[in-house]
Structure 1
Amino acid sequence: MTTTRFAPSPTGYIHVGNLRTALMNHLIARKAGGTFILRIDDTDPERSKQEYVDAIQEDLEWLGLSWDRIERQSDRLARYEAAAQQLRDEGRLYECFETPTELDLKRKKQLNMGKPPVYDRAALALSDAEKEALRAERGNGHWRFKLDHERIEWTDGILGDLSIDAASVSDPVLIRGDGQFLYTPASVCDDIDFGVTHVVRGSDHVTNTATQIQIIKALGGTVPEFAHHSLLTGPQGEALSKRLGTLSLRDLRAAGVEPMALVSLMARLGSSDPVELRADMEAVAEGFDLGHFGSAPTKFDERDLYPLTARVLHEMPLAEVAGDVAAAGVPEALAEEFWAVMRDNITTRKDLAGWWQLCANGAEPVIEDEDRAFVAEAMALLPEGPFDGDTWGNWTKAVKDATGRKGRGLFMPLRKALTGQGHGPDMSALMPLLQVVKARG
């Protein structure tokens, strides 16, 4: 059984970088008919908040990313402590007492000597009496996992064969001095206990993966298949990390982005496959192949979401937008006709309100100086409403016969006089919706 997980920390809102990881893991599970776990990494009691847990679930549901079970790390602290004790008993977890300042000085000294800044394992030489004295002076120490200094190798689902020399990596801290379990031991225990078979995450976790493989083996677990996707950059290749806070899923939703537009883009971004708009999550999963993704940084431009959003809306029946049409103020009797006319002329649902305001209250006419006499003559020929599907054709023919104008010189000034803009729906279809024509005045 294929089992994957998405493991957000409830310390903020999900952004597009998180989504990439969530979506890949979700699609792997769904394509294989497996299990997708939502794991809430809430071991940090100070920063974890229930409002963010609720927001994470809400955002995933909006996108259509369903989970088969939900787990919270705060419910599993006893399990993590038991695993830590097992590692202590096996001599793989040892207590250290260096302060951050002391560690920084050690790193600088090593760098000055041309050596890699790796923890020197000085704590292993401490006697029990020295440890007791340090605890009395500084409080409890932090706990590091003792790596076997050997090459750690695995075949990555995206990056291919990888190998890291454990001697070039500091023994990772698993437990802080205040007793809080960090990401690594909790994640390893969960992956073992929940039977996680595939882990997809960002390429910034490659070194973490190497150390986790050793910890998994030390605890007697089965190593899952790992894959590390490239990190997102801005459209010019600039670092996106500082902007992720403004690219939360709820911000994109508030901007009018449709969920399938976002999912369709993120499911192909960074792969050799073209971006194709899909109708539902099943179709996205069917065409997903992790092996088609590359290692190069992936450019993300939120502007790409809006043409896709427009295409999603163009295919929607009225039933799926009826609430938005009503909220824009459109009377129920006109809703179907209004949507049929406007669906191809909006980028997001938010645009509906502006179009109805134009229909209901009229638009400020835009008339070029050279067209003023022409528009005045044309407006004198415009029949009284209500208009129908033949009004535009009959009116423009009468204006053409009276003025001799034709083509763009005939149609564009009239469109701009009625709608205040040079683009929009076919005027024959729009005219029956116009309740007010300000250009008459």
Structure 2
Amino acid sequence: MTTTRFAPSPTGYIHIGNLRTALMNYLIARKAGGTFILRIDDTDPERSKEEYVDGIKSDLEWLGLHWDRIERQSERLDRYQAAADSLREMGRFYEAFETPTELDLKRKKQLNMGKPPVYDRAALALTDAEKETLRAERGDGVWRFKLDRERIEWRDGILGDISIDAASVSDPVLIRGDGQVLYTIASVVDDTEMGVTNVVRGSDHVTNTATQIQIIEALGGKVPAFAHHSLLTGPQGEALSKRLGTLALRDLRAQGIEPMALLSLMARLGSSDAVELRSDMAELIDGFDIERFGSAPTKFDVDDLFPLTARHLASLPLAAVQEAVVEAGVPDEKAAQFWDVTRQNISTLKDLGPWWEMMRDGAVPQIDAEDAAFVKEAMALLPDGPFDDQTWGAWTSAVKEATGRKGRGLFMPLRKALTGQAHGPDMSALMPLLQVVKARG
């Protein structure tokens, strides 16, 4: 069975980059009728916070990315220690004691000699007595996995054939000196024991994947099918990493972005398929193909989400937005009429409140100087309310006959006088909802 996972660290809220990874893994699992695991990578006790765990769950539920089961790495520490013991027994795990300063000096020396800055495995030459002395002086060392220095190859679901020379990569640290288990081994153990068959993640993990393949094979696991998606940039190609804090899903949600607009964009962004607004998750699942994504950096512009949100909202029945209409203050008896009038004229549901305020309290008239006399004359011809769907047509006909104005010169000044805006709903449909007309003076 196809099994995928989304494995966020609860050290912050989900941002747009995380979403791409989550969505791809979710769609692969659902399309195959498989299992989608939410795995909380909380092995860092200092930075992991429960509020972020709750935030991650809340964001995924808002999007409709429902997991089949949830796992927490903090509850599996014994499994990682067992894997570490196995690696020690087979001679693939060794303790190293260099300080960060010493490692930095080694890297600089290698670079000056024209060599790749790879850890030199000096720790392998230490005697037991030397190790005891170093532990007494510096505390416990880090534990590194000893790579087989050969080429590591796999067929990537997005990047194609990948080949990395392990001799050009440092033996990865899997356990820190303070005993904290790092992602590299924890992820391998989890993927293996949970039967993960497909892993999609960012292209910044390619080298990490190479080392993990060797760890998986050393522990007797089955290597999943890997795919590495491109990284997102800003709309001008600029690095997005520094802006991700402002692109947290909770912030987009607060701005009124609709889940289906966000999912429709992210399910196609960076692929050879055009972005198309989908009506539901089933359409997203059916149209998803990981092999149609490319390796080039992918431009993301948050402004693209607003027209998609507007189009999505315009397609919804009143029942789907009833709560937002009520929150805007619209009486029940006017809700259906109000939604029919405004649905094509909002970017987000946040726009409903201002529309109802304008209808209920009247708009601040926008009257150009050259139209002041015309509007005054026209307002004298406006009948007393309540208005109906015939009011606009009858009134503008009377104004046209009295003033000789027609076309845009007739309609635009009157729209701006009644609504304070140059654009908006059909005035015949809007008039019955207008309760106050401030332009009367």
Determine if the TM-score, normalized by the shorter chain, exceeds 0.5: yes
| Aligned-pair identity (%) | 80
SS in 2 for 1:344: coil
Q: Could you report, residue by residue, the CA deviation over 1:369-392 in whole angstroms, capped at 9, with x for unpaired residues?
A: 111111000000000000000000
Partner of 1:231: 231
2:14 and 2:42 map into 1 onto residues whose CA distance is 15
Alpha-carbon offset, residue 280 of structure 1: 1.2
2:294 and 2:403 map into 1 onto residues whose CA distance is 62
Alpha-carbon offset, residue 320 of structure 1: 1.2
Letter in 1 for 2:338: F
2:434 and 2:227 map into 1 onto residues whose CA distance is 56
Report how many residues are paired. 441
Q: How does 1:216-255 map to 2 (within 5 A)?
A: 216-255=216-255
Letter in 2 for 1:25: N
1:151 and 1:369 map into 2 onto residues whose CA distance is 77
2:400 and 2:434 map into 1 onto residues whose CA distance is 22
Pair 1:205-2:205 in alignment: yes
Pair 1:434-2:431 in alignment: no
When the two structures are superposed, what TM-score results if normalisation uses the length of structure 2?
1.00
- Runs of 5+ consecutive residues of structure 2 not aligned to the other structure: none
Q: How does 1:267-416 map to 2 (within 5 A)?
A: 267-416=267-416
1:425 and 1:127 map into 2 onto residues whose CA distance is 82
2:438 and 2:4 map into 1 onto residues whose CA distance is 59
2:366 and 2:267 map into 1 onto residues whose CA distance is 43
Q: Could you report, residue by residue, the CA deviation over 1:64-123 in whole angstroms, capped at 9, with x for unpaired residues?
A: 101101000000000000000000111100000000000001001111111100000000
Partner of 2:60: 60
1:323 and 1:376 map into 2 onto residues whose CA distance is 39
Letter in 2 for 1:164: I
Superposition CA RMSD, Å: 0.4
Q: Bigger shift: 70-79 or 324-333?
A: 324-333
1:354 and 1:276 map into 2 onto residues whose CA distance is 29
| Structure 1 moving runs of 4+ over 2 Å | none
Partner of 2:160: 160
Q: Could you report, residue by residue, the CA deviation over 1:38-80 in whole angstroms, capped at 9, with x for unpaired residues?
A: 0000000001011100110100010010110100000000000
2:85 and 2:101 map into 1 onto residues whose CA distance is 28
SS in 1 for 2:343: helix
Partner of 1:129: 129
1:202 and 1:264 map into 2 onto residues whose CA distance is 19
1:40 and 1:281 map into 2 onto residues whose CA distance is 24
1:13 and 1:270 map into 2 onto residues whose CA distance is 23
Q: How does 1:67-106 map to 2 (within 5 A)?
A: 67-106=67-106
1:369 and 1:299 map into 2 onto residues whose CA distance is 45
Letter in 2 for 1:4: T
1:24 and 1:268 map into 2 onto residues whose CA distance is 10
1:27 and 1:436 map into 2 onto residues whose CA distance is 50
- Runs of 5+ consecutive residues of structure 1 not aligned to the other structure: none
Q: Could you report, residue by residue, the CA deviation over 1:319-354 in whole angstroms, capped at 9, with x for unpaired residues?
A: 111111111111111111000100000000000001
Partner of 1:23: 23
Pair 1:261-2:284 in alignment: no
Q: How does 1:136-215 map to 2 (within 5 A)?
A: 136-215=136-215
1:4 and 1:311 map into 2 onto residues whose CA distance is 31
2:230 and 2:132 map into 1 onto residues whose CA distance is 45
2:239 and 2:210 map into 1 onto residues whose CA distance is 25
2:298 and 2:40 map into 1 onto residues whose CA distance is 27
Letter in 2 for 1:336: A
SS in 2 for 1:389: coil
SS in 2 for 1:161: strand
